[in-house]
Chain A
Amino acid sequence: MAVEVVKRGGKPATTAAGPADTAPAGLSAHIQKRLLANPGGREFMLDAQLAAPPGITILFGASGAGKTTLLDCVAGLLEPDGGNIALRGRVLFDKTAGLNLPTRKRSLGYVFQDLALFPHLTVEANIRYGLAKIPGEEQVRRTAAILESLRALPLRARYPGEISGGERQRVALARALVTDPDLLLLDEPLGGLDAPTKSAIVEDLRAWNRAHQIPIIYVTHDRGEVFALGERAVVLEGGKLIAQGTPHEVLNAPRQETVAQLAGFENIFDATVDATHEAQGTMTCRLAGTAVTLEVPLSQVAAGAGVRVAVRAGDILLATSRPQNLSARNIIPGVLVSLEQRDFMITAQVDCGIRFEVHLTPGARDSLQLHAGREVWLVLKTHSCQLVASR
């Protein structure tokens, strides 16, 4: 892929946003904005320093973290209380200089969460809307070209109310891309789409960006999308950027507990380090208040130190007899407390002196004849256990 990724030199994900990289071809923003968690709710401060080089930057966070507010500030739909925003060396907003470029002059594309296609205009008119300043034949040519490249040409004469959700998302994307923006803001644009439709649109977006090389900020709270799309990911929580790096760095080796929770680590435990094994690159931790010990990857902590250990429920194996001759280093006996089915996934709660959550398939449940009260063994690989800094 031709997109140049400005990687942070292979460093582990930084735990707090450093000074914004002023990439001349990218976006650099420092945005401060007071806002409400929900109408009438508690007030909190969005204070985020964001650097987005050309390519896709995923903005990841739970709802209410301030993601949409951040985008609206970049777009100029909301005026920040403080800070500055620059795009490709052009200042869009500077509180101290009293500069605030209106939205229409920022030359950006914004795909809203609810798309905001104009209901009274055809697909073609929607797309031509942003091309008013160029000659008519050129408008027609570019509209046809973008519809063609997004495989939406047959929709041109239809109204937004007459096409499917996936088609509407394509049209909204086309409307934003056709203006040849300097920056693309996408607010959960693929929400509610099935996986094949989603990946087809993502592929189209990637192809388009290979030719255009602009910063794209893609907001999502779906961790699958983070891995599928991102070259870079930043995590926003409570109005602060709490981590940034590659998706793998940010989500797979979380250094912040909040990131771990966001990234789907269902099991997070307090533990003390019993012993370190430098030669093996591992250490033994005892989970607080239990006799359960876990072998986890070595970290820069001394024996006796307190740590937090995070394990994904889907990374734990479950056996009905004590497993033998396994490479996995952690085999923990326990009792099955409950089984709960959600869609095609079973969530099992296992008491090993401390509660573990384990995910398995209905087939596994049936073939192992699992039921509450049954004696089981949990199997955890050393590298499925992640160390997390507690806050």
Chain B
Amino acid sequence: MDWQAFLLTVKLAVLVTAILLVLGLPIAYWLTYSRRRWKFLIEAVVGMPLVLPPTVLGFYILLALGSKSPLGRWWESLTGHTLAFTFEALVIGSVIYSLPFTVQPLAAAFSTVDRKFVAASATLGASRLRTFFRIILPLSVSGLLTATALTFAHTMGEFGVVLMVGGNIPGVTRTVSIDIYDQVQATNYASANQTALVLLAISFVALSLVYAWNRKVWAIWPWR
């Protein structure tokens, strides 16, 4: 078991989940409540990582981060080194790749919140921000939890995008899934199995916690 890769992966997953919650809440809110006709286009863009091959996504992210792109050049002028094949690149790639796993459960949960509660909040003088944090979000706890667990588990196990934008640099961009791939390439099945089992267990525990919690929520608020 490569503990360095494991800790790196956990660090990546925690960071990506935190960033995605901050980004995902307003996006999901906008997707749920906006009345723009072209909303479906944004929905399609957000959902794209679900259907695109990770290599395609990874390829374009790599181009966008490379030293020929404005973003890559800006990063270089700021830090003095290239963005591609760094941990930061891994974070950016993972954020894009896991975006639908945060946004979709949140948007689904927001859309089940009865609009009457939102209307009632407005008649009681609350701003949209207050309505969001006091009414919509508390009534979407199960969606928030699902989004967090799915994003975390998905980032933990991601492979293609990570390989494309990060490469396989030990301690910098080598994650557990790449480590497993390496072990298998080296016919080191026992070690690969050990790491794979850990990943399997983490995913199982994360999902079990989500489902257990959602049951509890249903029991407390039976009218929802």
Contact = CB atoms under 8 A, between A and B. Distances in A.
Contacts of B119: 75, 77, 103, 110, 112, 116
Contacts of B116: 112, 114, 116
A271 to B, nearest CB: 48
A119 B122 contact: no
A129 B122 contact: no
Given A112-B116, A116-B119, A129-B134, A107 B222 contact: no
Interface in B123-139: 123-127, 130, 134-135, 138-139
A77 B116 CA distance: 10
A108 interface: yes
A111 to B, nearest CB: 9
Given A77-B123, A102-B122, A114-B116, 17 more contacts: A77-B122, A104-B126, A104-B127, A106-B123, A108-B123, A116-B116, A116-B119, A116-B120, A118-B117, A118-B120, A118-B135, A120-B138, A130-B124, A130-B125, A161-B222, A175-B124, A179-B124
B37 interface: no
A103 B221 contact: no
B126 A132 contact: yes
23 contacts: A75-B119, A76-B122, A77-B119, A77-B122, A103-B122, A104-B123, A104-B124, A104-B125, A107-B125, A110-B119, A110-B120, A112-B120, A114-B116, A116-B117, A118-B121, A118-B135, A119-B139, A119-B221, A132-B125, A132-B130, A133-B125, A175-B124, A176-B123
Contact of A119 (B126, B127, B130, B223): B223
Contact of B221 (A106, A133, A161): A161
Interface residues of A, number: 26
B114 interface: yes
B68 interface: no
Contacts of A77: 119, 122-123
A312 to B, nearest CB: 37
B36 interface: no
Contacts of A116: 114, 116-117, 119-120
A327 B134 CA distance: 67
Main secondary structure of the interface of B (DSSP, over half): helix
A109 interface: yes
Nearest to A77: B119
Given A112-B116, A114-B116, A118-B120, A161 B223 contact: yes
Contact of B121 (A119, A129, A133): A129
Contacts of A112: 116, 119-120
Contacts of B114: 116
Contacts of A105: 125
A132 B135 CA distance: 14
A104 B121 CA distance: 8
Nearest to A109: B123
A186 to B, nearest CB: 12
Nearest to B114: A116
Contacts of A179: 124-125
Contacts of B130: 132
B119 to A, nearest CB: 5
A118 B118 CA distance: 10
A132 B119 CA distance: 17
A114 to B, nearest CB: 6
Interface in A72-114: 75-77, 102-110, 112, 114
B120 to A, nearest CB: 4
Q: Could you say which of B116, B121, B123, B130 has the most chain A C-beta atoms within 10 Å of its C-beta?
A: B123
A75 B123 CA distance: 7
Given A112-B116, A112-B119, A132-B130, A120 B221 contact: yes
A129 B126 contact: yes
Contacts of A109: 123
Contacts of A132: 125-126, 130
Nearest to B138: A120
